Amino acid sequence: MSNTQLEDVLVGQPADVQAEIIRITTDVRPLALQVALAVPLLAALLGLVNGFRMMRIPEPEPSVSVEGMSFG
């Protein structure tokens, strides 16, 4: 939300309350954006690491009891 939109929402509030809310929002906006971008980046990196880990796991051998069965 931009400061202009926030000012429209705060119409009717005392001037000191408006100024404080706008100051707080302006101060935390960059941090909130960094956190919002870091979460999907970390999830993607964890998925990539897990994908490489899974490539090292050998393929499972088929069960002998299932090979001889007829499904028809």
Chain centroid to CA 2: 22
pTM to 2 decimal places: 0.52
Residue 28 lies in a domain: yes
59 occurs within a structural domain: no
> Count of CB atoms within 10 A of residue 43's CB?
10
pLDDT in tens, 8-61: 888 999 999 999 999 999 999 999 999 999 999 999 999 999 999 998 888 888
What do you get for the CA distance between the two ends of the chain, in Å?
A: 62
* Domain membership flag for residue 63: no
pLDDT at 69 over 90: no
Q: Are 25 and 6 in contact (CB under 8 A)?
A: yes
Q: Tell me how far apart the alpha carbons of residues 26 and 38 are, in angstroms, rounded to a whole number.
A: 20
**What pLDDT score does 2 carry?**
84
Domain that holds residue 39: 14-54
pLDDT of residue 27: 92
Question: Does the structure show a pLDDT above 60 at 72?
Answer: no
Total number of domains constituting the chain: 1
Q: Would residue 36 count as lying in a domain?
A: yes
Q: Is residue 34, in this structure, part of any structural domain at all?
A: yes
